Structure 1
Amino acid sequence: MTDIHPAWRTPWRNMRWAFVAIWMLFLGYPLGAVIGSDHSAPVKAIGYALVGAFALVYLLASVYVLSGRTGPDRRGVPVFGVLALLTIGLLPIIGEGAFGTAPFLMVVAAFTFPYGWAATTICGVVVCALAIPAIAGWEQDLGLVVVLVAVGFTMLGFRTIAMRENERERAEERRRELDAELAVVAERERVARDVHDILGHSLTVITIKTELAGRLIDLDPQRAKAEMSEVNQLARDALAEVRSTVGQLRTPDLPSAIAGAESALLAAGITADLPGRNIHTPNGSLFAWVLREAVTNVVRHSGASRCVVVIDDTSITVRDNGSGMGASGFGNGLRGLTERVESAGGTLSVTSDADGTAVTAVTAVRT
């Protein structure tokens, strides 16, 4: 059976749509009006079909358009148009009972139209609820009009609150991004200072000692030799300190990690099934860390003859056909990798049995 496309499947998993769709219970009013009408069975069947179609369109709109919406969405215009046409189709069948669908029209307008258009549309729906029964000579239900006014302006109030909350969240997100950028700048400045201090001090001492050794080479060769030995040690220490300092900022890139994994696996006699090195993913740096740690474990512990790596925009899986982890469980490497993936908003899972081990990291795409 053909699988459902992820773009259609994912919104249904987010149950926020249920809080919008639950109001479909109030479609019982126009449905009851159809049931209680004096029309023939074929006309009633048309009424049932219109109410059912209205429910289906609103349900789909709840999932794909209204759920989590707090601002203008062009998709709301055709949704509103279809629902309005279905309501108009119900008018000849159940008369003023068709306005039982009006609150749903108001919800769509309030949460998907620009604010001014939403207010205008809601007022227009209320006016229609007053004017159409008067023109058609139907009994005027002022209670329904009051309910529509209350619902309409309540929806606009919710829209206003949601817009303010969204603005607050965006401001908070901008603040966090700025704090992160400032932290990066501060860290770079710290590293620059460290490198400067290390090299400045070390090179100054090395310069002095080499000059001293040059003057002593004829006068006291043994002392000159000792000075040069100290110069050699100073240079080694400075190099180690520079590597340690710079290493704190280094992050692996995915193409290099793939090349390194291939080299390590082939050197260990393990067949490597890897993606091409020209692969691009928004999570390349994170996946490079996962690949390095997982392949290191494969080489050291798995006893595998084959390793397969699969990478896409949101996940990486490293699978081997080795003997499994047994009772060893997570070591420091996998624990640290789990923390790294979780700090990036993802999850790391490790499955292991007698047929091998699979390490999978899944994270959201960052744009």
Structure 2
Amino acid sequence: MSANSPGSSDVLEQVCIHTVAPEAAIVDKDGLFPDRSLKALAGAGLLGALSAPDVGGLGLGVRGAAAIVSRLAQDCGSTAMVVCMHFCGAAVLEAYGPAPIRRAAASGAHLSTLAFSEAGSRSHFWAPVGTVRPDGDHVVLDARKSWVTSASKASAYVWSSQPLRPADGALSTLWLVPADTPGIRIEGAFDGLGLRGNDSSPVAAEGARVPASAMIGEDGKGFAIMMETVLPLFNVLTAACSVGIMEAAVQRTARHASGVRYAHLGSTLADLPTVRSYIARMRIKTDMARALLDDTIAALEHRRGDAMLRVLSCKAAAGEAATEVLETAMRVCGGVAFRKDLAVERYFRDAHAAGVMAPTTDVLYDFIGKAVCGLPLF
């Protein structure tokens, strides 16, 4: 099945219409994890988008995964972000994990996520301060992870630590840490501004003991996995989430403008040139972000020399564009936009999350500037 096959897209559309969209408002209002949507996606096989067919996955690649996340974001940003992080974790497991875990991730029985960001290194997620020490045929982890999506719902975390055996230039090592490992503690429920159902909470490890065989890849090679496997996928999928949010905003704003009438004038909001101009700008910004996202995916697929620059640019551009598009949507829809029924204010809040998710927009701008100027990124 290809990324653009009618089968996968039709199944996704049905899941969105019948489950994701009806659940979205309550997920946001009550900060609920989108359990029903995740179960529907798993049942449809869509959580295995990046997993290989030999373990029951769809093998759709980054393009197929981005299409799924973007479509989900049109209805529910929280669901889209949970799936984004599952895909990132599943991609690591697909490259380095054992077949049973890969098979479970493909089926959705294993919900994956990343545990990289720490208060001590903030948006520099590639440089963990959390430690690991040997203990016989096990290791012991100690860390304070600042934000982990699906913190209380994930089956296991793709967890970063300092290297087990420090070596020159080695920044990190990755581990597969089951969420129910003794010593792992979720430090409070998530109650955020946007993406309220994504269960993004701090997670602490205090003497958390896991088998040494839980190491993902080689000791000290976590940075390489982050840069080669995680960063391109995470940036693309986060950009896809932003594009989906923008697309929803354009559609809802245009529908509102065409439907609201001035009774005494016999005209609609859309009859005003200024309103049409605002909506046109929203459409253009959305299309520009989508075009850059598509070109980024093409650069990765064809291993173009500018692929990393595109990877850095697409998340920053889409995140910035999303905040602008949603600000315009709020302006066009006026007082109605502050009500929950139009959902524009929900998309407005969700859109702002991309800028603060590491690598943050400001960090990306620094990286892009370095790349353009021919300077090393790290």
What TM-score comes out, normalization by structure 2 length? 0.22
Structure of greater relative contact order (alpha carbons < 8 Å, 6+ residues apart)? 2
| Structure ID, larger Rg | 1
Structure with greater helix percent = 1
What TM-score comes out, normalization by structure 1 length? 0.23
